[in-house]
A and B are shown apart, each in its own frame.
Chain A
Amino acid sequence: MLSAMSFQKANMRYFRIFFLQLQHAIEARSLSVVWFLTALTTPLLMLIFWSGATAAAGGRIFSWSYSNFATYYLFIALASSMLTAHIQEDVAFEDINKGNLSQYILKPFPYYTSKFLLELPWRLFQGSLAISGIVIVALFFKNLVSVTSSPIILLLAIVIAILAFILSFTFKMILGLLAFWFTEISGVMNVNEIIFSIASGTLIPLEFFPNNLRTLFEILPFSYMIYYPIIAFLGKLNTTSLLQVILMQLLWIFIFSLVYKFTWAKGRKTFTAVGL
């Protein structure tokens, strides 16, 4: 009974911290809207490109019609704003380079969890903007937005989406922690953005790539952050494939959490707590 109560108390603690962070995100809402619009740019540009391409190819490319493309990029916009963490710059520039990390180190609360609770409200806030956008589009163009109607697939897709966020978040945390060793971390982040936009399916759906590249992208973690959550929602995967995706996500989360622990432990020894 007592342990159940203390468990409930501990959960309340996370909830309250999350709630305070949410207030902060709402306070800075204009920033949130700008970031959301940024996440929208690439999918919109790609959509314009494919509309020309499908018209020139006589209506279909590899069995994809224009409306298939439209649905895909609509969901890319949603996934980029909801599932992709952007914590790396905060970790590298604010915390490590400027020394704000000290405040986190001094508190009896894990850094990873603090940052997770800091990032989550932003994703929910921007995600809700994206969902409202999709609802509006669905009202006008009903056939553009067709998610799976099977409850089991939908449930698995939700699990995949949550795991995708955890995966993306842990990866970005590691990326940020590299600032312990490299003062000029922007270069590494830019290279990551390029690789990510190709290998995650943000630019082009993965089925358009040659087979060997596709196999590589299926091994790399990036497709499990964007591409698979989307096609899971669109109902393009059967239950077995969905479970395989979940397995791959869990494997990558496990690997990243080990790398994170290692990077954190090593990096903290090099931290000089500058600016104090």
Chain B
Amino acid sequence: MSAITVNHLNKTYKSYRKDPGFFGSVRSLVKRKYENIPAVKDISFTIESGELVGFIGPNGAGKTTTLKCLSGLLFPTSGEISVLGFKPFERKNEFLKQISLVMGQKNQLWWDLPPMETFLLNKEIYQIPKNHFKKTLDELISILEVEDIINIQVRKLSLGQRMKCELIAALLHSPKILFLDEPTIGLDVVMQKKLRDFVREYNKKFNATVILTSHYMEDVRQLCDRIIVIDHGSILFDGKFDELVKKHTQQKIISVIFEKEVLREKLLKLGIIKDFDLPKVVLLVKRENANSVAEKLLKDFSVLDMNIEEPDIEDVIRNVFSKS
């Protein structure tokens, strides 16, 4: 059985529109103009249990709205959602005990108390058996290396420390489905990597289904086998990461380090020169020609080093969005 099924989901926000300035305010006293803003438009997808799926899209694309609908925070305007066989909006206890939503910008930790108190509160709320709680907590604490801080007031912790504790609070009840909304926002590179490693481990160890949204393409590239690209509320792509790259980039990048000086004109015949800074040259070539160009380079020039690479992921995504 699929863990998540979404059929023709629509979510429209009703928003009140005010003309600018004082007279705009006065006018709105008498007559208010409301506008329907579609955030998600007729999207459908299925996610199997144990999958790790990344949602990519620019701000306001509909990623977070979809996540909020899946976790039961929002009432869908139309369409059907089934998560572990439940309708999320109904908030059945059995459903809520199996999911968790972690939001990078919002926290559930009690600001004035140490994280441990929130953990204990969650133990009661989720009715986690004592032994299970202790085991999971010890495990999470050691993986995330937070032994020293769980008894310090939350307000005194750094952003990274808080995020780690947020994750612990969200995972104590061992959710089968984990929604992560921008989990690495505001974290430094080292912390980002740690968090990514942790998410991957959690996914593998518990066969948990993880859905993640992120602005950082690195997060998604490193973690997710499957990505769903959303823009303007619609799905532009749903599939494997490599497929996206293949589908949306007709080119590959060949970077060469030459032994001797070469003429720019000679290289122009092989492809587009992206960067010419001898001894290093970066060429953009057609995907299907990549191998033959590489052969030619090795044959006709004295090459010290050569690499064939996929284009930068940010460029690929930009390419997808500019087409939409």
Contact = CB atoms under 8 A, between A and B. Distances in A.
Interface stretch (A102-110, A150-158, A190-198): A102-110
Interface in B66-116: 68, 71-75, 89, 91, 93, 96-97, 99-101, 103, 105-106, 108, 110, 112-113
Interface stretch (A38-46, A47-55, A210-218, A266-274): A266-274
- Kindly state the interface size class of chain A when it binds its partner: 20 to 34
Nearest to A16: B124
B25 interface: no
Given A17-B124, A102-B73, A276 B64 contact: yes
Interface stretch (A20-28, A84-92, A128-136): A20-28
A235 interface: no
A28 B73 CA distance: 30
Contacts of A271: 73-75
Given A99-B106, A105-B91, A109-B125, A24 B74 contact: no
26 contacts: A13-B124, A13-B127, A16-B120, A16-B124, A17-B124, A17-B125, A23-B113, A24-B110, A28-B112, A102-B103, A105-B72, A105-B73, A106-B73, A106-B96, A106-B99, A108-B97, A108-B125, A109-B125, A269-B75, A271-B74, A273-B68, A275-B105, A275-B106, A276-B68, A276-B103, A276-B105
A246 B70 CA distance: 44
Contacts of B97: 108
Nearest to A20: B121
B96 A108 contact: yes
Interface string A247-276: 000000000000000000000110111011
Contacts of A99: 106
B173 to A, nearest CB: 9
Interface in A76-99: 99
Contacts of B108: 103
Contacts of A13: 124-125, 127
A238 B113 CA distance: 47
Contacts of A272: 13, 74
A273 B121 CA distance: 23
Contacts of B238: none
Contact of A107 (B64, B75, B105, B125): B125
Nearest to B122: A107
A24 B113 CA distance: 7
Contacts, number: 68
Contacts of A100: 106
A106 B67 CA distance: 12
Contact of B93 (A23, A28, A103, A108): A108
Contacts of A16: 120, 124
B112 A27 contact: yes
B206 interface: no
B310 interface: no
Interface residues of B, number: 31
Interface string A104-146: 0111110000000000000000000000000000000000000
B126 interface: yes
A272 B69 CA distance: 10
Contacts of A23: 113, 117
A273 B73 contact: yes
B96 A27 contact: no
A23 B100 CA distance: 26
Nearest to B68: A273
A224 to B, nearest CB: 32
A20 B120 contact: yes
Nearest to B11: A272
Contacts of B93: 108
A103 B126 CA distance: 13
Contacts of B64: 276
A271 B75 CA distance: 8
Nearest to A13: B124
